[in-house]
């Protein structure tokens, strides 16, 4: 049985060239990058080369890129540091953010007594920009806006330029969780009014356990993890050289083949939409995921016309056929909680029906779509 992986928003297959480079580093560059001898210096050189690679792509200074363990750590660093070090008293966010943001702001509300204001979400899964402007216009205390660029469940896209301009107009800091967009979209951070973005290598065919955060150089933050002077004192602890090089390799690979990869992935998604519409009457697309302007080309979230009592069988049915997709984000699918994103945009009737997220990568093939749609059609028709 050929297995089909359509859960690339959860994690991606690591590129073989990334594995090769990581193995080479582990064999040849095992020196502690904080040591002053030649072994240490060679490791340090690799780290700084990786930092410059990321900075150059985003048109920022290398000193504004900090390596972390993942996107969640990066989000924690930004939000907690903004409250602790930058005197932020109000965080403006939405109820469809990743839990790496939502749970942190809840924690800060409890421990630091900050104010949390939620921006309205439209039925199509997009931010209500008029409401955001109204919030910022009436905010009397120092604020930070935290809104993700690409929603990890429904793929809706945030207009970074528009939000950045609003934040500049009302003197608010701007943080965007860009985990789903790094390696898929180009950013010129010098042209955007944005203070923080984050990335995680395993979302763009790199290793797990390594990520980064961009922090605008105009902001002065205190150490987040205390100890040594690694990451210019911001994050203590010996750096994972092989993971950093693995992330750099995956990053370079993604951006050097960006146009071709994105075209292939978009065609996969369009083919999937066309095929599933034809095969399953009554299928619904959650949010604006079937809109190529307002949604990511790599994420599709569908609501199937299936009775509530059979919903629990769907994922099992696909799994035994070797098809991997998701009923929510991977960070929640192991719990009994429903999707907080879908709860924000779907009707009560549609929430009772099963929704599935399919997310695509450069490694997927059009033949796989035929198999998946056929399996879905078979399940729906057996209702």
- Predicted local distance difference test score (pLDDT) of residue 59: 98
Tokens of 352: 């009772």
Contacts of 274 (CB under 8 A, 6+ apart): none
Average pLDDT, the chain: 96
303 catalytically annotated: no
Please report the domains of the chain, with CATH numbers, ordered by start residue.
4-12+258-381 (3.90.1150.10), 16-256 (3.40.640.10)
Three-state secondary structure of 227-254: CCCHHHHCECCCCCHHHHHHHHHHHHHH
- Predicted local distance difference test score (pLDDT) of residue 330: 44
- Predicted local distance difference test score (pLDDT) of residue 265: 99
**Higher confidence at residue 276 or residue 336?**
276
**Residue 169, pLDDT above cutoff 60:** yes
**Residue 43, pLDDT above cutoff 70:** yes
- Predicted local distance difference test score (pLDDT) of residue 338: 82
- Predicted local distance difference test score (pLDDT) of residue 329: 45
In contact, 90 and 141? CB cutoff 8 Å: yes
- Taking residues 35-60, what's their average pLDDT? 98
Residue with tokens 């749609």: 373
- Predicted local distance difference test score (pLDDT) of residue 307: 86
pLDDT in tens, 279-317: 999 999 999 999 989 999 999 999 999 988 888 889 889
Sheet (strand 90-93) strand order: 65-68, 211-215, 196-200, 173-176, 143-146, 90-93, 115-118
Residue ranges of alpha helices (H) inside 138-210 are 160-169
**Residue 334, pLDDT above cutoff 60:** no
Single out the catalytic residue among 70, 139, 167, 331. 331
- Least confident range of 77-91, 170-184, 266-280, 329-343: 329-343
pLDDT confidence band for 337 (50 / 70 / 90)? low
pLDDT in tens, 74-105: 999 999 999 999 999 999 999 999 999 999 99
Tokens of 251: 């990053």
In contact, 93 and 147? CB cutoff 8 Å: yes
| pLDDT above 90: percentage of residues in the chain | 93
pLDDT in tens, 117-129: 999 999 999 999 9
- Taking residues 158-171, what's their average pLDDT? 98
Q: Phi/psi at 199 (nearest 5 deg)?
A: -145, 155
């Amino acid at each position: 049985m050929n297995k089909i992986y359509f859960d690339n928003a959860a994690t991606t297959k690591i590129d073989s060239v990334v594995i090769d480079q990581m193995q080479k580093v582990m064999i040849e560059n095992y020196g502690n990058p904080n040591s002053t001898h030649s072994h240490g210096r060679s490791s340090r050189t690799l780290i700084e080369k990786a930092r410059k690679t990321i900075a150059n792509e985003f048109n920022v200074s290398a000193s504004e890129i900090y390596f972390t363990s993942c996107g969640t750590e990066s989000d924690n660093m930004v939000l907690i540091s903004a409250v602790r070090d930058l005197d932020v008293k109000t965080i403006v966010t939405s109820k469809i953010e990743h839990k790496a943001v939502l749970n942190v702001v809840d924690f800060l509300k409890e421990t630091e007594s900050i104010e949390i204001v939620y921006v309205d979400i439209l039925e199509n899964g997009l931010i209500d920009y008029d409401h955001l402007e109204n919030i910022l216009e009436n905010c009397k205390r120092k604020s930070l806006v935290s809104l993700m660029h690409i929603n990890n469940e429904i793929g809706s896209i945030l207009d970074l330029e528009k939000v950045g301009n609003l934040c500049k107009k009302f003197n608010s800091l701007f943080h965007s969780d860009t985990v789903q967009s790094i390696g898929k979209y180009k950013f010129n951070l010098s042209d955007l009014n944005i203070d923080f973005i984050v990335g995680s290598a395993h979302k763009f065919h790199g290793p797990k356990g390594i990520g980064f955060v961009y922090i605008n150089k105009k902001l002065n933050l205190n150490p987040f993890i205390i100890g040594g002077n690694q990451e210019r004192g911001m994050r203590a602890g010996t750096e994972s050289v092989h993971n950093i090089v693995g992330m750099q390799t995956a990053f370079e690979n993604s951006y050097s083949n960006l146009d071709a990869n994105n075209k292939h992935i978009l065609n996969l998604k369009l083919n999937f939409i066309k095929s599933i519409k034809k095969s399953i009457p009554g299928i619904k697309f959650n949010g604006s995921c079937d809109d190529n302007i307002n949604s990511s080309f790599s994420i599709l979230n569908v609501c199937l016309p299936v009775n509530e009592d059979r919903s629990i069988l769907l994922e099992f049915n696909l799994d035994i056929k070797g098809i991997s997709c998701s009923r929510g984000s991977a960070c929640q699918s192991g719990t009994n909680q429903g999707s907080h994103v879908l709860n924000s945009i779907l009707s009560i009737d549609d929430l009772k029906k099963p929704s599935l997220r399919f997310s695509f990568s450069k490694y997927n093939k059009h033949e796989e779509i035929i198999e998946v749609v056929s399996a879905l059609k078979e399940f729906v028709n057996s209702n």
